[in-house]
Amino acid sequence: MNNDRHVIDPIADIPYRKHSRWLPFLLAALILAGFGGYLFWKMKAFAAAENQQRRQMPPIPILAEPARKENMNAYLTGLGSVTPMNTVTVKSRVDGQLMDVFFKEGQTVARGALLATIDPRPFQVQLIQAEGQMAHDQELLRNARIDLSRYQTLWAQDSIPKQQLDTQDALVHQYEASVKIDQGLIESAKLQLVYSQITAPIGGRVGLRQVDPGNIIHATDTNGLVVITQLQPISVIFSLPEDVIPQVMPKLKAAESTPVEAYDREMKQKLALGSLLTVDNQIDPTTGTVKLRASFPNRQGELFPNQFVNVKLLISIEREAVTISSSAVQRSAQGTFVYLVKDDKTVMTKPIVIGMVQGEKASITSGLSDGDMVVIDGTERLRNGSKVELREPGNQISGKSNSK
């Protein structure tokens, strides 16, 4: 029987166990390093293939335009309604039969133009009566003054009592008052004759006739004869948020002429150019807006009463600003940018900072210079470094035609 046995020394086994503990970590590190290298090689190969494919792709047709340095207007926009400066319902100031009408519906009349006449004969009769009464009272006054002169002489000779003189003096004053009343009746009759001639109190456009000739009209009639609306000049009342009051009021106090533009409902056609006239004296608490009135010459009749318009109020001018079309501005998670066309006919993304946007224009505070060419159409397929070919606005590629 062999008594020799293999005895393991526990002290000698310690290094072996230490190395076996770190062995899995070393293997994992080697695997990760190998996998990372493989990914790096794969991505590099993919990027090279992508660059190769991009170089082989045909140029992407785009529409571009240069950034321009120009003055840019800042506008406040609001909704408004065309409101006449003056609207008058023409009514008769006397009662009588409407004899003649001298205007045509829709006609433009001047202030003081004769519109219609009322039968003047009753007022002529009143004038004759008043003139006759005045002639009668004037003769009584003349005779009373002669008697007063006689009584003054007799009283000076102590031939009549003082009471008789005073009575005659009072009679003279009575007749003088009667003559004044007669004069008033004459003037009243003349005024009635004037009122029988109905004239235009303002210049403007005549509306539809409300009464036909031959009818009896009265001063108390509610409808009146016709409505005249002043069209030149005309105003537009529009609303803006209350926050803009600090921007508007200094211009009014300085008596500056603040331009106001009126546009159609779709904000495409400019209808008229006017100026700010005034601001209302209170804010509407329900809407938080304030009303403003602008005046327009309206020489060609561009604006019509109660017409709905869009209003643009020029509030400031940004001078020598770098501007581009709003369609050139692109947005991403990193911010706003544009595709800048380089000299080698490739594009690069250029971060920008937008200042003011007005309609189809945007001012750039940083990122672009005057003359930089930016893409305004065809950005859907672009990437950083894409090869491009400029085309004209009419879908015509430079040197080629897209039509088949």
- The Cα 99–Cα 211 span in angstroms is 11
Which of the four CATH numbers 1.10.3280, 3.40.50, 1.10.287, 1.10.3470 does domain 120-195 have?
Answer: 1.10.287
pLDDT score recorded for residue 355 = 86
The answer to whether residues 188 and 127 touch, using CB atoms and an 8 Å cutoff, is no
**Residue 261 pLDDT:** 94
The four Cα atoms 385, 391, 393, 399 give a dihedral, to 10 degrees, of: 170
CATH superfamily for 75-85+229-319 is Efflux pump adaptor protein, beta barrel domain (2.40.30.170)
Question: So what's the pLDDT on residue 6?
Answer: 47
> In 3-state terms, what secondary structure has residue 245?
helix
pLDDT (tens, 9 = 90+) of the chain, 404 residues, equals 444 544 444 544 445 455 556 667 677 777 777 777 777 776 776 666 656 655 556 888 888 999 999 888 888 999 999 999 999 999 999 999 999 999 999 999 999 999 999 999 999 999 999 999 999 999 999 999 999 999 999 999 888 899 999 999 999 999 999 999 999 999 999 999 999 999 999 999 999 999 999 999 999 998 899 999 999 999 999 999 999 999 899 888 887 789 999 999 988 899 999 999 999 999 999 999 999 999 999 999 999 999 999 999 998 888 888 999 988 999 988 899 999 998 888 889 999 999 888 878 888 988 888 889 999 998 888 888 888 888 866 554 443 333 33
Rounded CA gap, 183 and 199, in Å?
Answer: 26
DSSP designation for 58? P
Cα-Cα end-to-end distance for the chain: 105
Q: Where are the domains of the chain?
A: 12-56, 58-71+320-397, 75-85+229-319, 86-115+202-227, 120-195
3-class secondary-structure state, position 305: coil
- CATH number of this structure's domain 58-71+320-397, picked from the four choices 3.40.630.10, 2.40.420.20, 3.90.79.10, 3.30.300.30: 2.40.420.20
Specify burial of residue 285 (Cβ count, 10 A radius: 0-12, 13-18, 19+).
exposed
Instruction: State yes or no: cis peptide before 61, omega within 30 of 0.
Output: no
d(CA 54, CA 34): 30
| pLDDT score at 128 | 96
Closest Cα to residue 232, out of 296, 310, 307, 308?
296
- The CATH number, out of the four listed (2.60.40, 2.40.50, 3.40.1130, 1.10.10), of the domain defined by the range 86-115+202-227: 2.40.50
What is residue 79's predicted lDDT score, i.e. its pLDDT?
94
Tokens of 362: 């945007």
CB of 202 within 8 A of CB of 228?
yes
